[in-house]
Amino acid sequence: MTEYDPTSPHESLPARPVSSATSGPSEVSSAGGAGIAPPPPPVSLPDSSASVTMAKPARWPRVWRLLSNRLSGWIVAGALMLAVIGLSIGLATSPSATAAPTVPGGGVAGAAGGAGSNGQPGPAAGGGLGGGGSNARSGPAEGGATGTVDSVSTPSFTISTATGQKVTVNEASSTTYQNGTSSTSASAITTGESVLVVGTVNAATGGTTIAATQVTVQPTGDGGSATSSAAGVVPFQRGAAATSKQVGQIPNYTEGQGTIVSGTTADKATEAALAAYPGGVVDRVVQLSNGEYEVHNIGVQWPHHAFVDQNFKVVGAN
């Protein structure tokens, strides 16, 4: 029995001695003798103030990361908003790329040799009509046509030119009538008569129309298709290539320049051009810098321009 064994069931064991690192020196027995072990180094307890100091800097990276993430989010959102605003402004101010400019003749600029919405020749490449270049001018202007009366329905009638172009002539109370060189009335306009019509031409209304200022009955006619063919006029043909030909004197000018003329000057230049090249419809007369006139012709493949001098004589065509 040892001193740590219980002597009775009711006796409690004494507590065993527990060695402590902080207790005093203990005796160690050995075969060679007894010695005293040096005391272990004291164990330093963690400094609570230091841990608190270290915890504070550890929080700042997390705070900066949070602030940086929020700041980046606001920057990205602001950039996207500016991009959307810029795109909206650009779309609102940019011209429609899909709408092609229209020019007299009812066609769309750039459709070489094609037909306009009114069945008249469409503009040729570069803005011309019916197979050639032209002044890119819009809006009705003074011109005219010559042809045979197809039908009469007061206050209008229709004619067919020598090349088969259909034109509607609208009359007004101010319209004057001539039979050759003599004055006459609207009753002289009957089916089958050959007439020269001058007035304001509108070729962008779904069909060529002329608001007539004067209608002249031509007792000897305009020569019809025979005269037109002899003059070299090339009738309009849908899908046909543009005809490139020059006759006579062509002035040195730039298309699109010049001044559109009206009144008696426009009427005389129109009459001269149609007498030389019947079959088309003159939709404007432009005075050039040299004093000559460019008579713009639609409804035919050629000529697209007739050039008339100051004495109203045709000097060239192209």
Q: What span, in angstroms and rounded, lies between the C-alpha atoms of 171 and 92?
A: 44
Burial class (CB in 10 A: 0-12, 13-18, 19+), 105: buried
Q: What span, in angstroms and rounded, lies between the C-alpha atoms of 218 and 231?
A: 19
User: Which has the closest alpha carbon to 106: 92, 118, 91?
Assistant: 118
pTM: 0.59
108 touches 102 (CB < 8 A): yes
Q: Left, alpha or beta for 105 (phi > 0: left; psi -120 to 50: alpha)?
A: left
The model's confidence at residue 239, banded by pLDDT at 50, 70 and 90, is confident
Mean local confidence (pLDDT), 17-29: 44
For residue 58, pLDDT beyond 90 = no
Residue 41: its pLDDT value, please? 57
Tokens at 247, concatenated: 């006759």
Mean local confidence (pLDDT), 275-286: 96
User: Which has the closest alpha carbon to 316: 262, 276, 267?
Assistant: 276
Tokens at 133, concatenated: 């270049």
Mean local confidence (pLDDT), 56-64: 56
Q: Residue with structure tokens 């090349």?
A: 163
Q: Residue with structure tokens 């509108």?
A: 202
Name the amino acid, one letter, at 290.
N
Q: What span, in angstroms and rounded, lies between the C-alpha atoms of 298 and 63?
A: 79
Tokens at 32, concatenated: 């060679």
For residue 3, pLDDT beyond 80 = no
Tokens at 193, concatenated: 């008569």
Max CA separation in the chain (angstroms): 167
User: Which has the closest alpha carbon to 283: 271, 298, 269?
Assistant: 298
The model's confidence at residue 303, banded by pLDDT at 50, 70 and 90, is very high
The model's confidence at residue 244, banded by pLDDT at 50, 70 and 90, is confident
Hey, is 150 helix, strand or coil?
Answer: strand
Residue 59: its pLDDT value, please? 59
Residue 240: its pLDDT value, please? 82
User: Which has the closest alpha carbon to 159: 130, 181, 184, 191?
Assistant: 191
For residue 32, pLDDT beyond 50 = no
Beta bridge partners of 78: none
What is the rounded average pLDDT for all residues in the chain? 74
The model's confidence at residue 39, banded by pLDDT at 50, 70 and 90, is low
The model's confidence at residue 213, banded by pLDDT at 50, 70 and 90, is very high
Mean local confidence (pLDDT), 306-316: 97
230 Cβ contact partners less than 8 Å away, ≥ 6 residues apart: 223
What's the pLDDT tens digit per position in 137-182? 657 999 999 999 999 998 999 999 999 999 999 999 999 999 999 9
Dihedral (CA of 72, 76, 81, 85) sign: positive
Q: What span, in angstroms and rounded, lies between the C-alpha atoms of 66 and 63?
A: 5
For residue 96, pLDDT beyond 50 = no
